[in-house]
Structures are given as C-alpha cells and as structure tokens.
Amino acid sequence: MTHQTVGHRHTTRPGLPDDPRAAVTEPTPSCPVEITLAALRGRWTTLVIRELLQGDRTFTELRQALPVLSDKVLSDRLAHLTEAGVVDRRREPGWPSRTHYRLTPQGRRLGPVLQALWDWGATTAL
C-alpha cells in the first residue's frame, strides 16, 4: 500500500472546533490555522521540511538535495523555521564550520500535516 488515506475522524463535525479562536472575522496571527500556515509559508519551505523529516541535515546537504534553491533563500527558510520552533540548529565548532539542522519535536509533528496536504492534493490531481 503506497498511501492509504490517514484515518481522520471528520464524519460528524461540519466545521472547525468550537474554540473561541474559531470565531475570528479576519486573519489574525493568533488563529492556530494561521500559525501553521505561517510556519509553512514561502516557496521551498515544505521541501526543506521533507528533507529534514528524513533526519539530521547540514546546510550543504540541504543545498545538494535542493540544487535549484539559492543559498540566500535556504538560509531564509532555515531562519524562519528555526524561529517558528520547527527546526533546531546546531553549530559545529572547528573548521570547516558546519551547521546541522534537525526538526524539533514540534517540527516532527508537521509530518501528519504534510500528509493531510498530500492526501487532499493527491485526489484532486485525478
């Protein structure tokens, strides 16, 4: 089985949770959905996360995995993801200097999110 649909329980509930934050009438950074979309925002972001879902990676390894991505944007993405609490950066002392990146526990929990995005998009493409 390649990609079975993940077992969501969405049969009954039509909308979103009856959380006060679900009542907003305009986009606000405190809305959980906005928080997640903000973390995923930007071209290349999901691909960087996909790489890190497979384990620890250095800057160069990421650059090799995504050859078209420029240094600047990769650096931007990693800084953004680090600030969002998705990625953890570990400088290696000495020379040549290396920096390892890996997902935080919170970042690893983006796996199911990407899976949900994948599942929906996979059915649309038919």
Residues that bind its own copies (CB under 8 A): 2-3, 6-10, 13-19, 22, 24-27, 30-37, 39-40, 43-44, 46-47, 50, 53-55, 65-69, 84-85, 106, 109-125
Q: Name which of its own copies, DNA, none residue 83 binds, using a CB cut-off of 5 to 8 Å depending on partner kind.
A: none
Comparing C-alpha atoms, which of 113, 98, 122 is closest to residue 53? 113
Question: Which of its own copies, DNA, none does residue 58 bind to, with CB < 5 to 8 Å depending on kind?
Answer: DNA
Task: Name the H helices within 2-109.
Answer: 32-40, 45-53, 59-65, 71-83, 105-108
Spatial neighbors of 79 by CB under 8 A, at least 6 apart, are none
Q: Which CB sits closer to its own copies, 13 or 91? A: 13
Interface residue list for DNA (CB under 7 A): 41-44, 58-60, 63, 69-73, 75-76, 78-79, 89, 91, 96-99
| Measured distance CA(79)–CA(61) in Å, rounded | 16
Out of its own copies, DNA, none, what residue 79 binds, judged by CB under 5 to 8 A for its kind, is DNA
Maximum pairwise Cα distance, the chain: 58
State the nearest-atom distance from the C-beta of 105 to DNA, in Å.
21
Closest CB to DNA among 65 and 113? 65
Contacts of 58 (CB under 8 A, 6+ apart): 98, 99, 100, 101
CA distance 62 to 102: 11
**Closest separation in Å from C-beta 69 to DNA:** 6
